[in-house]
Amino acid sequence: MNPLIKRAAAAALLLCSGVAAQDTTVTTTATTTTASSSSCATVLTPAYSPPVVAKGWKAQLIATGLSNPRGIKFDTNGALLVLEQGVGLRHLTFNDNGGTCLSVKGNTSVITDEELNHGLELSEDGTSLYVSSDENVDRYSYDPDTGTVGNLTRIISNMTNPGIGHVSRTLLLSKKVPDLLVVSRGSATNLDPLAADRSTGVSQIRAFNISNTTTTILDRPYSYPTDGLLIGWGLRNSVGVAEHPVTGSIWSVENSADEIHRLGVDIHEDNPGEELNYHGLLNDTASPASLLGANFGYPSCFALWNTTAGFPSQGDLRVGDHFSLGNNATANDTSCAQRTVPPRLTFQAHTAPLDIKFLPSDGTRAFISFHGSWNRDHSAGYKLAYVAFTSSSSSSGEKGVGVPVEARDSLTAVRDVLTAPDVARCSERGACFRPVGLAFDKEGERLFVTSDATGEIWVVMRDGKDEEGGGGGETSSTGVGGQTPTGTGGPVESTSSAAAGPAAVGRGVGGEAWVIVAVTAVMVAVGGLGFLA
């Protein structure tokens, strides 16, 4: 990026947060308005139609001017580390007056590296920082008191996909098995034949022992295709990966294929669906029930979202079942069912889930950022939402804690929190909120959310009011999968009975209050569509 553009972006963020920017003149399109005395003294207003907030939540804009923000992580001193795709890593501190009242206090660069694109993690003690490019995972020593990095060690290499393949390499440090760093790698093409060969390392999630100083790290980096523990393969582009805080189980959200035809029929508008996949426990490599190393189908098998609307079926397929594109003698729906693992939940096609974070206290909500569609005639996604998970006191059709409340074929598992007011406009650059990275603060009450296309960061909490009932948010203006069309913007209420209503999932833990805080961009950065998702 041009250095002048970088300086302008940084200056815009400083100006909007009340931090003086010297020797730089910036014209912004964001405005500030004075709120009532009972709320924040100053409220920022985005330069586009703001997202719609679901009942039971609040939203407020608190800072602007980031350049394509993706992954985020709080350090041990409460500073927010923000990975800006194609730029590097930034360190933000806030004036925090509680609730939604935050404004940027400090804004400094930690790492300048145009190859960094998405992945970001921090060790539990806060002194080791992990970042990723499309080729490597690097570890820096990190000082949270100064917000600076020291020595670099290359941990993992050999991840580059040929051509214009998916470049994000999501990182997750396990809290249950602290020595393991989980790394997700997507495909090189839309339908990548390399993913069918497990030895290529393409379209996989793997875990690597980062405390092992007696073998590869001292001599050479791990090679992604051949080293580490295979968590799952046949995963087209699992950008979001999370560990359940109670059970330690690993979950991912999958971006499925575009421009799909089945039996010669174009089904791309509503199929295949995006996926929520369950991968089991990192320390369970031996039990018969373990899913570690399982095949999740890609590039041969895909999850069904819309069972009607012209889908050429040759059998009794339900939502979430894997189907084959050709359904011939060598590749068919039956073989998909026999040799691949279907998703635990399926989401509307092309909504592009890019991150997943569990409520830290008990994991009863899995928040998901739906970046938004490009491969649809009717736009969908562009929202922050959550899926309700079981707790020790909940009753559902499945035993145990830490599983989705709703059934595998549910169309109403997603509950909207923050949505674009008119998704029909979202194909215009910078016209809509496009969420990417998620991070809870150390209290586990406010959830910060980046929006890359508009350079925003949002923070989410409850406001103490009851939420709207039922599932929601999966419909578009056309309606799919038996759902009733409910318009194109705002929270959507379920048209069918949900497995758990507001009493089960509406209040969170102990009836605590939740609020949303936003950080919106002045400058529109280069955003990710298609392979950049």
DSSP assignment of 248-294, as one string?
A: -EEEEEE---SS-EETTEE-TTT-SPEEEEEEEETT-SSSTT--TTE
Per-residue tokens: 316: 């009794």
Phi, psi (rounded to 5 degrees) for 135: -105, -35
CA distance 423 to 370: 12
Tell me which H or E stretch contains 13.
Answer: helix 3-16
Where does the pLDDT of residue 328 fall: very low under 50, low under 70, confident under 90, or very high at 90 and above?
A: confident
Cis geometry, peptide bond prior to residue 299 (ω within 30 degrees of 0): yes
Largest CA distance in the chain: 70
pLDDT of the residue at 48: 85
- Which of the residue ranges 348-362, 413-427, 466-480, 487-501 would you say has the lowest mean pLDDT? 487-501
- Say which amino acid occupies 166: H
Mean pLDDT, residues 247-265 taken together: 95
CA distance 425 to 432: 7
- Radius of gyration of the chain from Cα atoms? 22
pLDDT of 354 strictly over 90: yes
Q: What CATH code would you report for 3-532?
A: 2.120.10.30
**Helix %, strand %, coil % of the chain (to 5):** 10, 30, 60
pLDDT of the residue at 393: 57
- Among residues of the chain, what percentage have pLDDT more than 70? 77
Where does the pLDDT of residue 223 fall: very low under 50, low under 70, confident under 90, or very high at 90 and above?
A: very high
pLDDT of the residue at 468: 67
Where does the pLDDT of residue 58 fall: very low under 50, low under 70, confident under 90, or very high at 90 and above?
A: confident
**Of residues 207 and 36, which shows the higher confidence score?**
207
Digit-coded pLDDT (tens) for 453-500 = 889 888 888 998 888 654 444 433 222 233 322 222 222 222 222 222
pLDDT of 229 strictly over 70: yes
pLDDT of the residue at 392: 67
CB 254 within 8 A of CB 235: yes
CB 210 within 8 A of CB 155: yes
Q: What is the mean pLDDT of the chain?
A: 80
Per-residue tokens: 327: 């359904």
- Which of the residue ranges 48-52, 114-118, 164-168, 394-398 would you say has the lowest mean pLDDT? 394-398
CA distance 500 to 503: 8
Q: Are strands 345-347 and 322-324 parallel, antiparallel or unpaired?
A: unpaired
Mean pLDDT, residues 316-323 taken together: 95
Helix, strand, or coil (residue 388): strand
CB 70 within 8 A of CB 84: yes
Give the residue from 437, 433, 435 showing the smallest Cα distance to 423: 433
- Which of the residue ranges 102-116, 160-174, 398-412 would you say has the lowest mean pLDDT? 398-412
pLDDT of the residue at 314: 75
Mean pLDDT, residues 53-73 taken together: 88
* Cβ neighbour number for residue 193 with a 10 Å cutoff: 13
Where does the pLDDT of residue 43 fall: very low under 50, low under 70, confident under 90, or very high at 90 and above?
A: confident
**Of residues 470 and 107, which shows the higher confidence score?**
107
